[in-house]
Amino acid sequence: MAGVVMYLYLVSGQGGSRLARRYVRDVGKALAVAGRLESVGLRPNVVKSGPNYVVYIATTDLLKLAEEDDAVRRAIAQYLAEKAKNGTPRQRGIARKHLQRHPLFLSS
């Protein structure tokens, strides 16, 4: 998306869930990545994590991408199915919750 490689992962907490992230070492690069994502209509967040910066997009933006791009939808569906089957107990629960809430991924 927008020439940015992001990695899928599962996390759920008070602030909702996040499903795609990218680590970078320098704040300038993090802001550049965020700018590219904003240019395609996403709302990226940038946070410091140890010596790195994490650029991530929330579930709502990822869902929007999945509705528009079949390759993104298939990648997310495959990731969630794998985590629902072989993830840790917490990952299995989160993945199943996402699959139930978003039937868009069940048809893959």
User: Distance (Å, rounded) from C-alpha 24 to C-alpha 78?
Assistant: 25
Q: Is pLDDT of 26 > 90?
A: yes
1-22 per-position pLDDT tens digit: 557 888 888 877 655 566 789 9
- The answer to whether 7 and 21 have CB atoms below 8 angstroms apart is yes
pTM of the predicted protein model: 0.80
Q: Is the per-residue pLDDT at 27 higher than 90?
A: yes
Is the pLDDT reported for residue 39 higher than 80?
Answer: yes
* Packing angle of the helix pair 70-86, 89-101 (nearest 10 deg): 140
Give the domain ranges of the chain. 7-103
Find the DSSP H helices in 1-108.
Answer: 27-39, 59-68, 70-86, 89-101
Structure tokens given for 78: 């495959």
Domain 7-103: which CATH number of 3.30.70, 1.10.3470, 3.60.21, 3.10.28: 3.10.28
Q: What residue has token string 């946070």? A: 47
| pLDDT number for residue 16 | 56
- Per-residue pLDDT of 42-76, as tens digits, reads 999 999 999 999 999 988 888 888 888 898 899 98
